Structure 1
């Protein structure tokens, strides 16, 4: 099987499980909104979860980015056994450090909550501290799981790592339902159990791949210095990225009750395309980019990365415009029930609008960053990230007064767009033959198609809102018709502009449809008698 087919197959596997995870993630958010709404209890849970989430995001991304290229370099040199030995040492050290963090952090939960959300009311802050003490041990298990994800991906095993978040979401959904009786504390317990389950799921596949499950301490292992040399700059870069979340929590904690929850619900909606397609593509192409960079194949590296950028734009631009155009019916369909009232809906709709402007930036950022990481250049994304965080803080302070929580969302969008523009410029200078003009032309064409499609969807929605009245089923039907109208316009404009990546994907879908129809016609039911 060719390299491109391997990437396509891996992307499909990851996308299927990631789609399932994101569907369950929406079910989780819908259940959270139904049971707790945008309330003080929800704010407390989200503030408490910020701390383990930030630690995991900083470590998790660094672990994956370290594991894939480093394992690939050892495997290419015929040293697979030595690679496994290195990561046995690495996982032992990681476990010891994280255990120390947990033991130190639990007694200081109240102080940590104050640092993250100083504006919370006293009762909400006390509740958040209790929830944090419950969830903080999850950092150990989820970080190990992410290291295992990277090792399995480096061995071209993509299914179990993609399934890990699915398992976590199942546990959290069950705990939210238990929250009807036991309150928000049940959700914290379910989150911890879900993190443990995600790690345990990887163990049999990791053993089968060759990982030695024996504690090992070799502080002078020659690969350890290289691993930390790759890891620490990435940690700084991802840590800088997490400052976005901390800024939002700190500033939103001084806004009216429910602001943190509204930002959370809107961000989950806006990141769906990133989770389903973009992260799946980024994960699948990273081993290929690393191998091409290691072998000095500049042309193959450029073509692979350019195709990834075009694919991301083809998804992210219309998705962002569509969510902006249909923000109100989308929020009402997914969340408007139970404890989630009209005020909660209005706050979430406004946040979704402001987030939608930065969707393309949010989606392209991880792909471009992985391009730098595959080249083992971890410093450039860090430098750009520092500037981006500073810009985000400035925008947040300027916009929070006139736009409240929407200002925080808009600041995030503006900063994400700045981040991608700078990364794209620097990567184009670094990689020969990247095809900047082709990428810019494709982006412009996709933007035109997306705007026209969004206008068509909004027009159809406005018409249907006046003639269709009913409950959830009618609203869902209305959104389906809106989306179909937008999709038809988008496809027509892309064909008219002859956008190459769209035509390529359309050809794949057409051939798949033709094969499916041929298979159906070949069934006995359809044979002439």
Structure 2
């Protein structure tokens, strides 16, 4: 396998993800303008967090589905692969429908326990119950989508899965522009369900083109499905713990002040900008590659691909974290500060975001490490580390929330994510009998040094040029654009001088695309 396989496969995927994030920024800007940082957006974000918490079941099954399905693809038995896919699809969907009905029935009790800040006002509580019940219907489409996208990724077809966010954000934007005044937040909850349905729908044409046909086939005793469910339990637990971590943060936030959940969510959205564009795309592509190498027993190739993937993640995420930390105020002003989103809300979001940014680097590396463990069918290690992470997070929340408010929640997330990422890396290195840690550490320090040079350029540009010549919204926009351009150039030159090999892969790929 060629060393720049990940870069080549990632190019168009990242284009789709970037477009999705651009539309997401438009969506978030419209949400802030229409609803502000109020109890209404707190309720929506809480309900959406509950949906994401439950989607970890889908994620766990998809994660373990891919390596098992990859083995079937290697055997080239179309009948067995179709039966396996339909079996998983039918059993999983029926299970999801049952779970959705139960969650809707007990939604009052769930909100009373986890969203206890909402119970102080009857109108707020009743609205939260109604919105949560509507949005839980999304789970059915998420379960269908997860199996279909798992099939596509096993075939190394990434374009449709990477375009899902773009499609769903178009649905959100259309609603926010044309229907918010008439239907409000209740209608937006319905639009969320429609958005998840559209994510499922866009994958169907490619799914059919690959030769898959739906049939009412169910076999609960199928050995492969038993293996998949057995392996998926630790994955579901570990990813549920990660989402539960975010859910716990929201629960803490409901007791700080109305709007705290929204401040936390806005800080998180900006912090994960680069992570969702690059890290998720690379992790999506590297997983089936690692799974294939593990099935073939090519552990040298496996280690090389893993090391290169980690270096590429660091190459992108470290400067992104530094840049977002430095430009957090103009970013918040441009994306959120308008309409009902006040100056005070922008200030609180900025404070929370500063302590969030280092977590972005840990998130990116952690995702690659998770995929590495899953590709060799070790699902227990990520689960154990997730429990450690949430324990650390809760303890820091309890100790610091009194003194730091929402910022305590973001600091706790950062500390816990860094600790569990280091623990996972050490564990994986032992499992694989050594990863080239020295090379990764050397590359990391080169990247940090280049990012510091970039930081100096950004600070100088803003202090001696932007802040003196421009004001208001124009200043914020130009600060982001010019800082990104000049800081990016300084970073790229520094990385090139420092001879980080992965930058050559990136440059070669862009040059070849430009020539075409």
1:331-346 correspondence to structure 2 within 5 Å:
331-346=332-347
Task: Select 1:117's aligned residue among 98, 115, 118.
Answer: 115
Q: Distance in 1 between matches of 2:484 and 2:3?
A: 31
Q: Which residue of 2 aligns with 1:51?
A: 50
Deviates more, 1:312-321 or 1:201-210: 201-210
Task: Select 1:74's aligned residue among 72, 75, 81.
Answer: 72
Higher relative contact order (CA 8 A, sep 6+): 2
Q: Which residue of 2 aligns with 1:449?
A: 450
Shift of 1:289: 0.4
Task: Determine whether 1:380 maps to 2:381.
Answer: yes
Shift of 1:449: 1.5
Q: Which residue of 2 aligns with 1:12?
A: 11
CA RMSD, aligned part only?
1.7
SS of the counterpart of 2:202? helix
1:357-436 correspondence to structure 2 within 5 Å:
357-436=358-437
Deviates more, 1:197-206 or 1:419-428: 197-206
Q: Distance in 2 between matches of 1:228 and 1:406?
A: 38
Is the CA contact 1:293–1:301 (under 8 Å) kept in the aligned structure 2?
Answer: yes
Task: Determine whether 1:135 maps to 2:135.
Answer: yes
Q: Distance in 2 between matches of 1:509 and 1:218?
A: 47
Is the CA contact 2:400–2:408 (under 8 Å) kept in the aligned structure 1?
Answer: yes
Is the CA contact 1:290–1:374 (under 8 Å) kept in the aligned structure 2?
Answer: yes
Task: Determine whether 1:163 maps to 2:193.
Answer: no
Shift of 1:324: 0.7
Q: Which residue of 1 aligns with 2:353?
A: 352
- TM value normalised by structure 1: 0.93
Shift of 1:312: 0.3
1:50-449 correspondence to structure 2 within 5 Å:
50-56=49-55, 58-120=56-118, 121-122=120-121, 123-177=123-177, 178-449=179-450
SS of the counterpart of 2:117? coil
Is the CA contact 2:331–2:480 (under 8 Å) kept in the aligned structure 1?
Answer: yes
Q: Which residue of 2 aligns with 1:30?
A: 29
Alpha carbons of structure 1 residues 87 and 482: separation in structure 2 relative to 1, 3 Å: same
Is the CA contact 1:326–1:458 (under 8 Å) kept in the aligned structure 2?
Answer: no
Q: Distance in 2 between matches of 1:301 and 1:70?
A: 18
Deviation string for 1:152-211 (max 9, x for gaps)?
111122222222222211112222232223211111010011111211222232122222
Q: Which residue of 2 aligns with 1:523?
A: none
Shift of 1:250: 1.1
Q: Distance in 1 between matches of 2:364 and 2:5?
A: 22
SS of the counterpart of 2:257? coil
Q: Distance in 2 between matches of 1:80 and 1:20?
A: 35
- Count, aligned residues: 513
Q: Distance in 2 between matches of 1:467 and 1:399?
A: 38
Q: Distance in 1 between matches of 2:19 and 2:441?
A: 33
Is the CA contact 1:65–1:231 (under 8 Å) kept in the aligned structure 2?
Answer: yes
Is the CA contact 2:7–2:505 (under 8 Å) kept in the aligned structure 1?
Answer: no
Q: Distance in 2 between matches of 1:103 and 1:507?
A: 52
Structure 2's unaligned 5+ residue stretches are none
Q: Distance in 2 between matches of 1:114 and 1:80?
A: 49
Q: Distance in 2 between matches of 1:466 and 1:212?
A: 60
Shift of 1:507: 4.2
Is the CA contact 1:298–1:432 (under 8 Å) kept in the aligned structure 2?
Answer: no
SS of the counterpart of 2:37? coil
- Please list every run of at least 4 consecutive aligned residues from structure 1 whose deviation after the TM superposition is greater than 4 angstroms: 2-6, 510-513
Is the CA contact 2:104–2:133 (under 8 Å) kept in the aligned structure 1?
Answer: yes
Shift of 1:510: 4.8
Q: Distance in 2 between matches of 1:44 and 1:355?
A: 22
Shift of 1:257: 1.4
Is the CA contact 1:332–1:345 (under 8 Å) kept in the aligned structure 2?
Answer: yes
1:464-479 correspondence to structure 2 within 5 Å:
464-479=465-480
Shift of 1:465: 4.3
Deviates more, 1:501-510 or 1:296-305: 501-510
